[in-house]
Amino acid sequence: MATANKNLSVYDKATIPNAKNFRFGIVVSEWNTNITEGLFSGAQEALLDCGTLPENIIRWDVPGSFELTFGSKKMIETQRVDAVIAIGSVIQGETKHFDFVCSATAQGIKDLNVQTDTPVIFCVLTDNTLQQAIDRSGGIHGNKGTEAAIAAIKMAAIKKL
Protein backbone atom coordinates (compact mmCIF):
# COMPACT_ATOMS: atom_id res chain seq x y z
CA MET A 1 0.00 0.00 0.00
CA ALA A 2 1.49 3.30 -1.10
CA THR A 3 0.31 5.26 1.92
CA ALA A 4 1.22 2.68 4.56
CA ASN A 5 4.60 4.30 5.18
CA LYS A 6 3.73 7.90 4.26
CA ASN A 7 1.47 10.47 5.84
CA LEU A 8 -0.17 12.42 3.00
CA SER A 9 -0.32 15.57 5.13
CA VAL A 10 3.39 15.87 5.93
CA TYR A 11 5.54 18.32 3.99
CA ASP A 12 8.69 20.32 4.62
CA LYS A 13 7.62 23.94 4.24
CA ALA A 14 11.25 24.98 3.74
CA THR A 15 11.30 23.06 0.44
CA ILE A 16 8.05 24.57 -0.90
CA PRO A 17 8.08 27.73 -3.04
CA ASN A 18 6.24 30.69 -1.52
CA ALA A 19 2.75 30.66 -3.01
CA LYS A 20 1.90 34.31 -2.33
CA ASN A 21 1.86 35.31 -5.99
CA PHE A 22 0.11 32.19 -7.31
CA ARG A 23 -3.57 31.79 -8.12
CA PHE A 24 -5.14 28.35 -7.70
CA GLY A 25 -8.34 26.80 -8.92
CA ILE A 26 -9.91 23.94 -7.01
CA VAL A 27 -12.63 21.94 -8.73
CA VAL A 28 -14.52 19.74 -6.27
CA SER A 29 -16.84 16.83 -6.98
CA GLU A 30 -20.16 16.93 -5.14
CA TRP A 31 -20.30 13.12 -5.15
CA ASN A 32 -19.11 11.62 -1.84
CA THR A 33 -19.05 15.07 -0.22
CA ASN A 34 -18.12 13.59 3.14
CA ILE A 35 -14.80 12.73 1.49
CA THR A 36 -14.34 15.58 -1.01
CA GLU A 37 -14.95 18.27 1.61
CA GLY A 38 -12.17 16.78 3.72
CA LEU A 39 -9.87 16.79 0.70
CA PHE A 40 -10.79 20.40 -0.08
CA SER A 41 -10.09 21.46 3.51
CA GLY A 42 -6.67 19.81 3.40
CA ALA A 43 -5.83 21.50 0.10
CA GLN A 44 -7.05 24.92 1.19
CA GLU A 45 -5.22 24.78 4.52
CA ALA A 46 -1.94 23.80 2.85
CA LEU A 47 -2.23 26.53 0.21
CA LEU A 48 -2.86 29.15 2.89
CA ASP A 49 -0.06 27.78 5.07
CA CYS A 50 2.35 28.18 2.14
CA GLY A 51 1.43 31.81 1.56
CA THR A 52 -1.46 31.74 -0.91
CA LEU A 53 -3.78 34.70 -0.40
CA PRO A 54 -7.38 33.63 0.32
CA GLU A 55 -8.66 35.65 -2.64
CA ASN A 56 -6.34 33.65 -4.93
CA ILE A 57 -8.12 30.38 -4.26
CA ILE A 58 -11.11 29.87 -6.56
CA ARG A 59 -13.45 26.97 -5.88
CA TRP A 60 -15.94 25.49 -8.30
CA ASP A 61 -18.17 22.49 -7.62
CA VAL A 62 -19.12 19.91 -10.25
CA PRO A 63 -21.62 17.03 -9.93
CA GLY A 64 -19.14 14.14 -9.91
CA SER A 65 -15.58 13.05 -10.62
CA PHE A 66 -16.35 12.45 -14.30
CA GLU A 67 -17.11 16.18 -14.63
CA LEU A 68 -13.78 17.26 -13.10
CA THR A 69 -12.11 17.39 -16.51
CA PHE A 70 -14.60 19.84 -18.00
CA GLY A 71 -14.68 21.94 -14.82
CA SER A 72 -10.88 22.09 -14.78
CA LYS A 73 -10.76 23.00 -18.46
CA LYS A 74 -13.22 25.89 -18.00
CA MET A 75 -11.33 27.02 -14.89
CA ILE A 76 -8.13 27.23 -16.93
CA GLU A 77 -9.86 29.07 -19.77
CA THR A 78 -11.64 31.67 -17.64
CA GLN A 79 -9.85 32.24 -14.33
CA ARG A 80 -6.14 32.79 -15.16
CA VAL A 81 -4.97 30.26 -12.59
CA ASP A 82 -1.43 28.98 -12.17
CA ALA A 83 -2.61 25.46 -11.32
CA VAL A 84 -5.84 23.55 -10.79
CA ILE A 85 -6.51 20.86 -8.20
CA ALA A 86 -9.20 18.39 -9.29
CA ILE A 87 -10.76 16.81 -6.18
CA GLY A 88 -12.96 13.73 -6.29
CA SER A 89 -13.72 10.40 -4.68
CA VAL A 90 -14.83 7.24 -6.44
CA ILE A 91 -15.55 4.22 -4.26
CA GLN A 92 -15.80 0.70 -5.71
CA GLY A 93 -19.35 -0.55 -6.06
CA GLU A 94 -20.92 -3.68 -7.46
CA THR A 95 -20.67 -2.72 -11.15
CA LYS A 96 -18.02 -1.72 -13.69
CA HIS A 97 -19.10 1.93 -13.38
CA PHE A 98 -16.18 2.47 -10.97
CA ASP A 99 -13.65 1.37 -13.61
CA PHE A 100 -15.08 3.61 -16.32
CA VAL A 101 -15.31 6.70 -14.13
CA CYS A 102 -11.80 6.26 -12.70
CA SER A 103 -10.23 5.63 -16.09
CA ALA A 104 -12.03 8.48 -17.87
CA THR A 105 -11.27 10.94 -15.09
CA ALA A 106 -7.58 10.04 -14.96
CA GLN A 107 -7.29 10.21 -18.74
CA GLY A 108 -9.14 13.54 -18.87
CA ILE A 109 -6.86 15.13 -16.28
CA LYS A 110 -3.82 13.73 -18.09
CA ASP A 111 -5.10 15.19 -21.36
CA LEU A 112 -5.42 18.65 -19.82
CA ASN A 113 -1.83 18.44 -18.63
CA VAL A 114 -0.70 17.65 -22.16
CA GLN A 115 -2.99 20.10 -23.99
CA THR A 116 -2.74 23.19 -21.79
CA ASP A 117 0.03 25.19 -20.17
CA THR A 118 -1.61 24.96 -16.75
CA PRO A 119 -0.90 22.00 -14.47
CA VAL A 120 -3.91 20.06 -13.24
CA ILE A 121 -3.32 18.00 -10.11
CA PHE A 122 -5.12 14.66 -9.83
CA CYS A 123 -6.60 14.56 -6.33
CA VAL A 124 -9.15 11.84 -6.96
CA LEU A 125 -9.34 9.01 -4.48
CA THR A 126 -10.13 5.67 -6.14
CA ASP A 127 -10.75 3.44 -3.17
CA ASN A 128 -12.24 0.00 -2.66
CA THR A 129 -14.07 1.01 0.51
CA LEU A 130 -15.46 4.08 2.24
CA GLN A 131 -13.02 3.49 5.11
CA GLN A 132 -10.06 3.71 2.74
CA ALA A 133 -11.39 7.06 1.48
CA ILE A 134 -11.87 8.32 5.04
CA ASP A 135 -8.32 7.25 5.92
CA ARG A 136 -6.93 9.35 3.02
CA SER A 137 -9.10 12.45 3.40
CA GLY A 138 -7.94 13.47 6.86
CA GLY A 139 -7.83 10.09 8.59
CA ILE A 140 -5.00 7.79 9.62
CA HIS A 141 -3.06 8.23 6.36
CA GLY A 142 -3.33 12.02 6.40
CA ASN A 143 -4.97 14.07 3.67
CA LYS A 144 -4.47 13.63 -0.06
CA GLY A 145 -5.78 17.19 -0.48
CA THR A 146 -2.74 18.48 1.40
CA GLU A 147 -0.41 16.49 -0.81
CA ALA A 148 -2.22 17.75 -3.93
CA ALA A 149 -1.86 21.38 -2.81
CA ILE A 150 1.88 20.98 -2.34
CA ALA A 151 2.11 19.43 -5.81
CA ALA A 152 0.10 22.36 -7.22
CA ILE A 153 2.47 24.89 -5.66
CA LYS A 154 5.52 23.10 -7.02
CA MET A 155 3.99 22.80 -10.48
CA ALA A 156 2.89 26.46 -10.48
CA ALA A 157 6.51 27.40 -9.77
CA ILE A 158 7.66 25.27 -12.70
CA LYS A 159 5.05 26.92 -14.92
CA LYS A 160 6.58 30.32 -14.13
CA LEU A 161 10.05 29.25 -15.34
Q: What is the pLDDT of residues 45-101, one digit of tens each?
A: 999 999 999 999 999 999 999 999 999 999 999 999 999 999 999 999 888 999 999
* Structural domain containing residue 152: 44-159
Residue 39 resides in a domain? no
Residue from 6, 20, 80, 97 carrying the catalytic annotation: 97
pLDDT for residue 95: 87
Split into its structural domains, the chain has a count of 1
> Residue 18: inside a domain, yes or no?
no
Residue 95 assigned ligand-binding role: yes
CA–CA separation, 133 and 35 (whole Å): 7
Q: Is residue 80 part of a domain?
A: yes
Residue 91, annotated ligand binder?
A: yes
Of all residues in the chain, the percent with pLDDT exceeding 70 is 98
In a domain, 28, yes or no: no
Q: Does residue 58 lie in a domain region? A: yes
Is 122 annotated among the ligand-binding residues? yes
86: in domain:
yes
The response to whether 60 counts as a known ligand-binding position is no
Is residue 97 among the annotated active site residues? yes
Query: Cα–Cα distances in Å, from 89 out to 63, 71, 155?
Result: 12, 15, 22
Confirm whether 37 is domain-assigned. no
Lowest mean pLDDT among 3-17, 113-127, 142-156: 3-17
